[in-house]
Amino acid sequence: MSRIFLYDTTLRDGSQREDISLSVEDKLTLTRRLADFGIHYIEGGWPGSNPKDVEFFSRATRMNLGTARLAAFGSTRHKGVRCEDDGNLKALIDAGTPAVTLVGKSWDYHVSHVLNAAPEENLAMIRESVAYLKSQGREVIFDAEHFYDGFLANPDYALATLRAAADGGADWLVLCETNGGKLPWEVEEITREAMRRIPGDYGVHCHNDSGCGVANSIAAVRGGCAMVQGTINGYGERVGNADLVTIVPNLQLKMGHEVVATEKLRELTLLSRFVAEVANLKHDDHHPYTGHSAFAHKGGIHVAAILKAADTYQHMDPTLVGNEMRSVISELSGRGNIQFQAEALGIDLDRDEAQKVLAQIKHLEHEGFTFEAADASVELLLHRLKPGYARPFELVDYFVITERRHGRGLLSEATVKVKVGEELKFTAAEGNGPVNALATALQDALVEVYPVLRTVRLTDYKVRILNSATGTAASTRVLIDFQSGSEAWTTVGASTNIIDASWRALSDSMEYGLIRLAHAGAGGA
């Protein structure tokens, strides 16, 4: 199959998502990572539109990006302005990028209602702007904005805009599905017709407003496009752009196209999560290919099958994109879920032991626990089955009080007594709430014996009322996230008493943290 070129616009289109704001350093960091992954074109932004992009291009053009080509984005010259005098074109040239992406109107409705220009004037703006940038030694990528809508409204004029760009010397003609409302068969058919009428190298740029951004991009490739524009994780304005993270494995693994090196494809999951981290967004657990749950199996029948043959309930080998198969533990689990989890931990469970753990989990979930989001709690249940496993500490008792003190407002205080080996540890701590005080007291009680716990910090605390109809007597579920460096884990507790539920999650987190950090080489008991 043919080679497909990737054009990433995360730094511009992706940053137009409402909850994303990338600093210059963020954009430079992402540029390096995208280039290392094997993205062919990296669009940095619109030079001259804001000081951030001006600084970005001044620094990015000095970076060694290997075979990746940096692109600046802008529009055709303004109506009635010579190319030599147009500020936008001057900013594109001053950006110093080897490639320039030029957007122009291809829908006559936009020409008349947005540009307020005559149809022939718009064609001249496209042709002359492309030719001017080519004369400056740039590779020119012409983005035909709203092409598919324009083609359906007036095919002759939409094609005339492509002809104008081609006459100006454009290296790529990119068909933009800007409003995101078209369906795959429309995109494929129109793409084929455009390529039949106007020969050239074609690309596609899709948005995801109807949920078809990925499908439409693939349809355009079927129609003959050799460049796909999109963003990492589908970030973008409104509901987002076509998602390169999903498109790349579809093209390479499903359709046989040459896109990126095989070893780079195995970094796809890391790339997807890295970009989410830099964008300060939670990575979507259910993202195709790279999500934490993308290859997670919960139903007992499913897990029983994949233990025999993984491809019975998976469309591909997750390691090809750097992900992994998981078994999710819940009341819907079968014995196979437990055995799968145990094998991953190197624990040999016989049939009776697996059934015993499963029965315990189902009993606890009936009480209000949930283990789907608390893998650490499940691992602890399994670790405790290991011959010779000894808990690193044992609760003797704890006491928590919250009171309003004159001049200090609300204050919580907790005392914890735990047994570590033969030694009794007794500590007290204050906090801005009872759980905070309890967590601090427990950690203080343990760090002298287990100094690695100094690196552990609580990152999230979630409470859910399970049966609100019973009012203050309702059962409460607590999920607690802890982190130490790059290691993170979640434990769960449940009780009719929120402090007791929190204690169960807290103490499990500390016990699991000692196992996890020792395994990671960070120290421990």
- Least reliable range by pLDDT among 230-239, 269-278, 474-483: 474-483
Enter the tokens of residue 199.
């020969």
CATH number of the domain bearing residue 481:
3.30.160.340
Per-residue pLDDT tens for 198-241?
999 999 999 999 999 999 999 999 999 999 999 999 999 999 99
Range list of β-strands (E), 384-456: 394-405, 409-420, 423-431
H-run or E-run covering 227: strand 227-230
Q: Is the pLDDT of residue 18 over 80?
A: yes
Q: What is the predicted pLDDT for the residue at 485?
A: 82
Enter the tokens of residue 413.
């205080």
Burial level of 465, CB count in 10 A (0-12/13-18/19+)?
A: middle
Q: Give the chain's mean pLDDT.
A: 86
Q: What is the predicted pLDDT for the residue at 488?
A: 83
Residues 230 and 336 in one domain: no
Residues 215 and 309 in one domain: no
Residues 55 and 147 in one domain: yes
Residues 240 and 359 in one domain: no
Last residue of a domain, one of 415, 447, 479: 447
Q: What is the predicted pLDDT for the residue at 522?
A: 44
Residues 21 and 73 in one domain: yes
Give dist(CA 292, CA 483) in Å, integer. 17
Residues 248 and 331 in one domain: no
Residues 25 and 44 in one domain: yes
Answer whether residue 375 is part of any domain: no
| Mean pLDDT along residues 247-272 | 96
Answer whether residue 183 is part of any domain: yes
Answer whether residue 116 is part of any domain: yes
Backbone angles phi, psi at 144, to 5 degrees: -85, 95
Answer whether residue 142 is part of any domain: yes
| Mean pLDDT along residues 86-96 | 95
CATH number of the domain bearing residue 48:
3.20.20.70
Distances (CA, A) of 316 to 213, 214, 312: 22, 18, 10
Those residues whose C-beta lies under 8 Å from the C-beta of residue 425, and which sit 6 or more positions away, are 393, 416, 417, 418, 419, 445, 446, 448, 449
Q: Is the pLDDT of residue 247 over 50?
A: yes
Last residue of a domain, one of 381, 415, 447: 447
- Least reliable range by pLDDT among 168-182, 325-339, 354-368: 325-339
Per-residue pLDDT tens for 446-474?
998 999 988 888 888 888 776 555 555 56
Spatial contact of 490 and 481, defined as CB atoms under 8 Å apart: yes
- Least reliable range by pLDDT among 23-27, 240-244, 414-418, 491-495: 491-495
Residues 483 and 419 in one domain: no
Residues 130 and 204 in one domain: yes
Count Cβ atoms below 10 Å from residue 391 Cβ, excluding itself: 14
- In three state form, how does the secondary structure of 37-72 look? HCCCEEEEECCCCCHHHHHHHHHHCCCCCCCCEEEE
Answer whether residue 388 is part of any domain: no
Distances (CA, A) of 486 to 22, 289, 482: 22, 22, 11
Per-residue pLDDT tens for 368-402?
555 555 577 777 777 777 777 788 888 898 889 88
Residues 435 and 462 in one domain: no
Q: Is the pLDDT of residue 418 over 60?
A: yes
What 8-state DSSP symbol labels residue 231? B
| Mean pLDDT along residues 184-200 | 97
Domain that includes residue 409, residue range: 393-447
- Least reliable range by pLDDT among 85-94, 146-155, 461-470: 461-470
Q: Is the pLDDT of residue 294 over 50?
A: yes
Q: Is the pLDDT of residue 364 over 90?
A: no
Angle in degrees, CA 213, 215, 216, rounded to 5: 65
- Least reliable range by pLDDT among 142-156, 187-201, 402-416: 402-416
Q: Is the pLDDT of residue 326 over 80?
A: no
- Least reliable range by pLDDT among 76-80, 120-124, 336-340: 336-340
Residues 85 and 176 in one domain: yes
- Least reliable range by pLDDT among 106-120, 336-350, 382-396: 336-350
Spatial contact of 226 and 5, defined as CB atoms under 8 Å apart: yes
Q: What is the predicted pLDDT for the residue at 98?
A: 97
Q: How many domains does the chain have?
A: 4
Answer whether residue 136 is part of any domain: yes
Distances (CA, A) of 251 to 184, 201, 263, 313: 15, 18, 16, 21
Distances (CA, A) of 502 to 230, 372, 404, 440, 481: 43, 18, 22, 13, 12
Q: What is the predicted pLDDT for the residue at 372?
A: 54
Q: What is the predicted pLDDT for the residue at 421?
A: 87
Measured over the CA atoms of residue 52, residue 53, residue 58 and residue 60, the dihedral's sign is: positive
Q: Is the pLDDT of residue 303 over 60?
A: no
Residues 91 and 145 in one domain: yes
- Least reliable range by pLDDT among 93-102, 456-465, 505-514: 456-465
Angle in degrees, CA 317, 321, 324, rounded to 5: 60
Last residue of a domain, one of 367, 385, 403: 367
Q: Is the pLDDT of residue 327 over 60?
A: no
Q: Is the pLDDT of residue 525 over 50?
A: no
Enter the tokens of residue 447.
């760090």
